[in-house]
Amino acid sequence: MSGSIPLSKFSSGKGFFSIAVLGGLLVGSIPFEAFAFDFEDVARRAEELAQQGYRAPDTSLPNELRELSYAEYGQIQYKRDRDVWSGDDVPFTLSFIPEGMHYDSAIQLNSIDQEGEVHGFAYNPDDFTYGDLNIPDDVKNSDGVGIAGFRINHALNDDERKDEVMIFLGASYFRAIGRGQVYGLSGRGLAVDTGLSSGEEFPHFTEMWIIEPSPESQYLTVFALLDSPSVTGAYRFVLRPGEDTLVDVQSRLYLRRAVEKLGIAPLTSMYFYGPEQPSSTQHYIPAIHDSNGLLINDAQNGWSWRPLANPSRLMMNRQATPQLRGYGLMQRGHNFSDYQDINSRYELRPSAWVEPLNEWGPGSVELIQIPTDNETNDNIVSMWLADEAHEPGTPLAFDYRITFTTDESRHLDPQLAWVEETRRSRGEVIRDDLVREPDGTLAFVLDFIGPSLSGVGSDANMSVEASVGDNGELAASRVVHNPATNGWRVFVNVRRSNGNQPLDIRAKLMLDGKQMSETWYYRLPANG
């Protein structure tokens, strides 16, 4: 049986709303909070909502705002001197984001004060600057305009300035960063029927409540109500900013109807190209991606690393996790030289590591890779799916922690080496005259590093255990010591039988019968 806490949906209401609450709930190591309004109140509302027919959110946004381009919408900025709690000497403040572009449904946003009272926030067009946009006052003041999302600010990098550390905007999407990081991949409250031909359903957070911080607060708590045609949910987010920023999530879900694919703790990212799959056009930027691999740790199957791809057609597959310990979309590689992009700073984009905090049961992690011809599209989705079919009538609980980090090694098993980088190349031989000559194979070059290799001498009997799926053959594999990294370099050469079908390739380091590394698992895309 699964368990945790549901997210809330964005509502279209614009006015004030007040509801009762009870004391806080322990999530991971988060301290207990006693408030008049708490998670159980949101859960009761979600359960009641699930018994009712679905009502789509109001999307009566004026065309002048709906038709804004991305750059135009970005000109609308909240006045930072109006940040909520900015004059209260507290460690967190809020900045609102108005509806516009495709963000056309408002949320009802509330605060919970130190006495436990709930207060609603109202949209005010005077809280924003509009750049050089010529938006008429009657449009700004229209009843069809509200708050689409909000930013959470904290003195993350500078004690004298509160930087944005987390954002909730659009459906059930959110992003967070740690110290010195910039936004990359996104989390979501829930994914419903992602990748199915029937079409994906996007649950929305419709109402959210933020507990007002005190001057001593080290974390910020956000409650959320989720709604969609198939499911409702209650969520509790506890944000703890730092070098690694932690977001503890408690969720409880209520199905209105059976759902074919209920994606838990989904992550969404972008992979355009990189050393694993070089660009088809010549470009000075060697890699463009927010994440370059999916990492999975299962108690029965161990650690596996799946480099990402930008396939020529939709590619979906699952990896069984009888007892999931954690999974995440990772950005391995945080040197500027890995990207050479002054504007996007991909080396500063974090990985997101998800760890269950309650028992989820057997299931699988699904990886969906979608073709994209540019870097503006999020084309990577990962999520956890339960083996058990869920039916309406039984609440589902899933608790987990998401760590946003650029120091991935501290979350890995120190007894196992990991793949620092995957490089794709033509296979070749070096002739007697030292000329390199292609040998007709496709080669993958893997650099394994880690503290477990530091005591292994260069003359050790290290070997590689490699295999391929039915659609090809393993032409060769070998491993050599890499003195530059004090690690080991693996070469895997393959031939594919049918180029119109993907090919699965796996490799891991072995020493005297003992596994020394995570398992590298790459699905070579069709026609790729």
With tokens 């090694």, the residue in question is 409
> Cα-Cα-Cα-Cα dihedral of 428, 431, 436, 442, to 10°?
-10
* The token pair that represents 98 in the structure block: 């108005």
Distance from C-alpha of 204 to C-alpha of 99, rounded to nearest angstrom: 14
Q: How far apart are CA 219 and CA 223, in angstroms?
A: 13
Strand 108-112, strand 204-211: pairing: parallel
What are residue 491's DSSP bridge partners?
445, 478
Placement of tokens 């956890």 in the chain:
384
Closest CA to 94 of 178, 165, 23: 165
pLDDT for 430 equals 87
What distance in Å separates the CA atoms of residue 497 and residue 503, rounded to the nearest whole number? 9
Q: Which residue's entry shows tokens 């970005």? A: 74
* Residue segments in the chain with a per-residue pLDDT below the cut of 70: 1-35
Spatial CB neighbours of 482, under 8 Å, sequence gap ≥ 6? 447, 488, 489
Instruction: Return the residue matching tokens 């049986």.
Output: 1
pLDDT given at position 11: 30
Identify the bridge partners of residue 305 per DSSP, sorted by sequence position: 295, 520
Q: Which two tokens stand for residue 290?
A: 């927010």
Place of tokens 């009538």: 393
Do the beta carbons of residue 306 and residue 502 sit within 8 Å? no
Phi then psi for residue 410, to 5 deg, are -75, -10
Per-residue pLDDT of 183-194, as tens digits, reads 999 999 999 999
Do 383 and 191 form a contact (C-beta atoms < 8 A)?
Answer: yes
Residue identified by tokens 């209260």 is: 88
Element (H, E) at 42: helix 39-50
Beta strands in 241-379 (DSSP E): 245-255, 262-269, 271-273, 288-289, 293-298, 302-307, 315-321, 324-330, 351-356, 363-369
pTM of the model: 0.91
Return the DSSP state at 411: G
Please identify which residue in the block is written with the tokens 């910039």. 182
Amino acid 411: pLDDT: 87
Name the residue type at position 362: P
Task: Outline where DSSP puts E strands in 170-261.
Answer: 173-176, 186-188, 191-192, 204-211, 220-227, 231-240, 245-255
Other C-beta atoms within 10 Å of 74: how many? 12
The whole-number pLDDT of residue 37 equals 86
Structural domains of the chain, with CATH? 3-411 (2.70.98.10), 418-524 (2.60.40.10)
Quick one: which H or E segment has residue 315? strand 315-321
> What is residue 236's predicted lDDT score, i.e. its pLDDT?
98
For the stretch 480-503, pLDDT in tens is 999 999 999 999 999 999 999 999
Residues composing the chain: 528
Q: Could you tell me if 88 and 113 are in contact, meaning their C-beta atoms sit under 8 angstroms apart?
A: no
Instruction: Note the pLDDT of residue 35.
Output: 54
Strand partners, 288: 273
Radius of gyration, CA atoms only, the chain = 24
Amino acid at 394: T
Q: Which tokens in the block code for residue 410?
A: 């501290």
* Residue (of 1, 29, 151) closest to 403 by Cα position: 29
Q: Decide: helix, strand or coil at residue 238.
A: strand
